[in-house]
Amino acid sequence: MLHPLITQDQVDAYWRDGAVLIKGLFKDHVDRIAAGIERNLAEQGPFAGDNLKPGEGGRFFEDYCNWERIPEFTDVIRNSPAAEVAAGLMGSKRTQMFHEHVLVKEPGTSKPTPWHQDSPYYFVDGMQNVSFWAPVDPVTEASLRCVAGSHRWEKEVLPTRWLSDTNFYPGDGEYMAIPDPDAEDMPILEWPLEPGDAVAFHFRNLHGARGNETGNRRRAFSLRLVGDDARYVERPGPTSPPFPGHDMKPGQVLREDWFPFLYTA
């Protein structure tokens, strides 16, 4: 049985397009997420960074893998309906935590988030997965953009470092070049969002985000979750997030003490 926040039509759209809008997923948790983001900005983790070069205006902050030390994030991840909704979207009996990600674009940040797929950066493989991208500010122009159907492409897109624009792994034969969805007239999905809404998108979905040239902040919380078929996989180089010392072997379920199960049907 699906959680009341989603319908079978939305599940079908998720698997057809690789992205779907979930209205009100975090509507009861907006203040907690916002407080967690502010704590994250003040108490940054080891992966924190600003994705702007000298001379680029605004601020594009990101950080991840802090949910266990930021109590607001722990609360939202454990007590919101996200894990149950994820299980319904994935068609999975269980939902397992992977990581969280904070992305803040302050007013006057013209730099867009580059087009990319998340899966090539990750050490997890499998089709049962979902990311929730949830703003705590109203979003119109500074929106997330997803290329419909790109999660079903035969080849994944080459992962790059956003700031230096260099390849993430040595060699690129396993991956396709990053396309230009606007120039190539690809079907792009994007939605205006109210605080508490979330875009659910597949790890293999090609996505990016517009810059924020509005007068308002754009603070977003992203939650990455995996399902029954998720397994550890080795990549050609260090992954992002790296999770040093995990000691997992290819084909293993992600270790539960580091990546706890949040929901079981």
Predicted confidence (pLDDT) at residue 44 exceeds the cutoff of 80: yes
Q: What is the pLDDT of residue 171?
A: 63
pTM value is 0.96
Decide if pLDDT at 54 tops 80.
Answer: yes
Q: What is the mean pLDDT of residues 88-92?
A: 98
Give me the domains of the chain, ranges plus CATH numbers.
Answer: 8-239 (2.60.120.620)
Report which secondary-structure segment, H or E, holds 99: strand 94-105
In this prediction, residue 92 carries a pLDDT of: 98
What would the pLDDT profile of 57-75 be if each residue is shown by its tens digit? Answer: 899 999 999 999 999 999 9
With CA atoms as reference, report the closest residue to 255 among 132, 129, 124, 127: 124
Cα 221 from Cα 64, distance rounded (Å)? 10
pLDDT tens for residues 111-150?
999 999 999 999 999 999 999 999 999 999 889 999 999 9
pLDDT band at 55 (very low <50, low <70, confident <90, very high): confident
